[in-house]
Amino acid sequence: PVVNASSIPTFQADIWQRFDGGHDVVIVSPDTGGVARSRALGKALNNENLAIIDKRRPKENISEVMNIIGDVEGRDCIIFDDLVDTAGTLCKGASALKQQGAVSVHAYATHAVLSGKAYDNIRESDLDSLTVSDTIPLTNNARGNKIRVVSIASLLTETVHRVATGTSVSALYDMV
């Protein structure tokens, strides 16, 4: 059997703890393709505040932020993405959100590829923090560079256990 395991339950718990339940933050999709994923996180947090970063990619690993769709002024923003590679797009998005009046910008991404100048981009950016899961090991110098790691090991362990025992997996991910 194939199961699409989501990091949302783990990120939801972290956001609840860090952002007083996560009800007053704005969940930000990094692009139009990530809206469904961002809505799912918002649903898990009982939060309908959504913004979208409208961008274009003139070439691979290069993006230009065109517009912010949604109201972020005076709000804490959480960009939610599936992966971060060079972090160029993420950092440009954080700057655009701050230019639109966001108080803080935090990002959550399931997979931290972090290639090229990613660490420098993050360190020098308007991004307040980047929280990633432990699906890809990070170098020791990556931690503390605005980067936090949360483990999804227990979630994956429980998912595999439920598949192996024929127990409902969907109950783990009902909010997703």
Is 55 an annotated catalytic residue?
Answer: yes
Contacts of 168 (CB under 8 A, 6+ apart): 162
- Alpha-carbon span 167 to 62, nearest angstrom: 44
- Which is nearest to 146 in space by CA: 116, 173, 123? 123
Contacts of 94 (CB under 8 A, 6+ apart): 79, 105, 107, 125, 126, 127, 128
Give the active site residue among 43, 55, 59, 92: 55
Neighbours of 70 (CB within 10 A): 18
Which positions are catalytic? Answer: 55
